[in-house]
Amino acid sequence: DAGVIQSPRHEVTEMGQEVTLRCKPISGHDYLFWYRQTMMRGLELLIYFNNNVPIDDSGMPEDRFSAKMPNASFSTLKIQPSEPRDSAVYFCASSLAHGGNYGYTFGSGTRLTVV
């Protein structure tokens, strides 16, 4: 199993541009999570999906952020327009199921820099 695959690994963009981050979860995992990590705020859960349906997006910071999961093997996190304060590492994770007895598998992350 290749694990959770994220692309790109690094993204540098100018303020105001649209940014799309991509994630391929582990096959068979029903849950997909998007996290953001910054020095100031640590790891924050942005949104998670169950069977391609968004369940909780309370962590999404603003309307500029949107996430989709068109099928079981692909999800995107879009920022439009991007701002310098969006600079962070964005992680995608997937889980076989949810609840206390299941762990998450994380991808390697996308380091986003907005200049």
Partner 1 sequence: DAKTTQPTSMDCAEGRAANLPCNHSTISGNEYVYWYRQIHSQGPQYIIHGLKNNETNEMASLIITEDRKSSTLILPHATLRDTAVYYCIVRRSGANSKLTFGKGITLSVRP
Q: Which residues bind partner 1 (CB under 8 A)?
A: 4, 33, 42-43, 45, 48, 55-56, 91, 93, 98-101, 103-109
Beta strands at 110-114 and 105-106: parallel, antiparallel or unpaired? unpaired
In whole angstroms, the minimum distance from the beta carbon of 57 to partner 1 comes to 12
CB of 81 to partner 1, least distance (A): 27
Q: How far is the CB of 16 from partner 1 (least distance, A)?
A: 28
8 to 18, 20, 48, 112: CA distances (angstroms) = 14, 9, 20, 9
